[in-house]
Amino acid sequence: MNLGFLGLQFSFGLQQGNMGPIYSYLGANEAQLPLLQLAGPMTGLLIQPLIGAMSDRTAGRWGRRTPYFLLGALLCCIGLFTMPLSSSILMAASLLWLLDAGNNITMEPYRAYVSDRLDPAQRQFGFLSQSAFTGLAQMLAFLTPAILVGLGMNQDWVDAHHIPYTVRVVFSIGAVLSLSTIVWSIWRVPELPLSDDERAEILGRPRGFGATLMEIVDAIRTMPRAMRKLGLMSLFQWFGMSGYWTYAVYAMGRTIYHTADPQTSAFHSAVLTNGEVAAFYNAVAFLGAFGMVPLARRIGPGPLHALALVCGGLGMIALPMVQAKALLFVPAIGVGLAWGSIMGNPYTILTSSIPSARTGVYMGIFNMMIVIPMLVFALLMSRLDLGFVSIGFDVYHRALNNDPRAMLRLCGACLIVAGMAVAWVEEGRARPAPMKATVA
């Protein structure tokens, strides 16, 4: 199961590490980046709840989740192959919408799939192991360009649109990996067949697009209390992560390589360094997620997640103070612990409070709590002039003085506030007796 998730998260890692620089190579300025990255949160907001509700209602010969795995993987593969060939900001932004649509169509069923396949006692280990594979996949995605340079590729070898050929190679690798691993995962771990009662219940539901929308509305209206409380944590958590992913490379460019010009060799070095740091914190997330399994059983996923978020926040605040490349990896430990927890512990809290028959739709709605903070971040930080109308409040320029180091400090503070907000969530904190982790 996790092998397919690895391919999906490799794609996400490529986006996090390269979309900002790609836009910069094509002529975008730093203040425009959050709005240019709107494809991710917008497709997540529109697609994941719909796919979640639709997969809950699917009872065909291919299963509930499998059709969406395959469709999303195909779109993702096409988007990854074509993205490095972008010749303009508009083309890159359009392809990002296609790529993110594919990623989001696949993502939600994979979350629900863990709940489908595992017994309740196994789900904590299931989500944390999925988090570990997120760390492994994104570590590989971030590290591959530096490996290519180490093997002899020139980091300054660029095409006519200033996009390095290392980007073209690593995105092609990602396209093959995402499609092949998802297909392999589906083949090796087929869905469990529906029982007669489950099939009858699904077939008895109202059909059609309108019924799907009403299912989402009703699920929001009857949302469990624990899930509602997770919303405040998600607001600050994902606001902070959005800012870090967008501006970490630019902060390192200024502090380590003393450049803000994306057309220079020094900036290419900053991109590679950001990839190495991101690979390291994802390695920390990979190992930390497994280490969190016994801790989550002992103290509960809520307190553990709060502690991890505080560590991540302190790491983000410290990172802009570092002046030497080797020392960047120290604050990255905190970021890695936070990321390992983010991809596992909140889902453990969530699945303990939602009905199994609505797992898909609630996973999709929970994703709205991820993408809405990203939308808020984009609208607050950026300003995009479309000629007849301007979008955004331009806080990055007006309040942060176009300084990515100030942005990272703000992001760190947001993660600390998110950690404090976890204390508001009481559910999911029972202390079950220690048990041996098993995998279905």
Query: Read out DSSP for 68-129?
Result: HHHHHHHHHHHHHHHGGG--SHHHHHHHHHHHHHHHHHHHHHHHHHHHHHS-HHHHHHHHHH
The pLDDT confidence band at residue 433, using thresholds 50, 70 and 90, is very low
pLDDT computed for residue 439 by the predictor: 42
Mean pLDDT of the chain: 88
pLDDT computed for residue 300 by the predictor: 87
Mean pLDDT of 391-396: 89
Residue-wise pLDDT for 259-311, tens only, equals 999 999 999 999 999 999 999 999 998 888 888 888 988 888 899 999 999 99
The Cβ of residue 261 has, within 10 Å, a number of other Cβ atoms equal to 10
**Predicted confidence (pLDDT) at residue 353 exceeds the cutoff of 90:** no
Contact in structure between 66 and 179 (CB atoms under 8 Å) = no
Separation of alpha carbons 273 and 323, rounded Å = 13
More confident residue, 233 or 45: 233
| The model's pTM | 0.86
Mean pLDDT of 213-227: 87
The percent of residues in the chain predicted with pLDDT above 90, rounded, is 54
Choice among 49-53, 166-170, 229-233, 337-341 with the minimum mean pLDDT: 49-53
More confident residue, 63 or 333: 333
Separation of alpha carbons 305 and 397, rounded Å = 32
**Predicted confidence (pLDDT) at residue 385 exceeds the cutoff of 80:** no
Residue-wise pLDDT for 150-195, tens only, equals 999 999 999 999 999 999 999 999 999 999 998 998 888 888 777 7
Separation of alpha carbons 123 and 238, rounded Å = 23
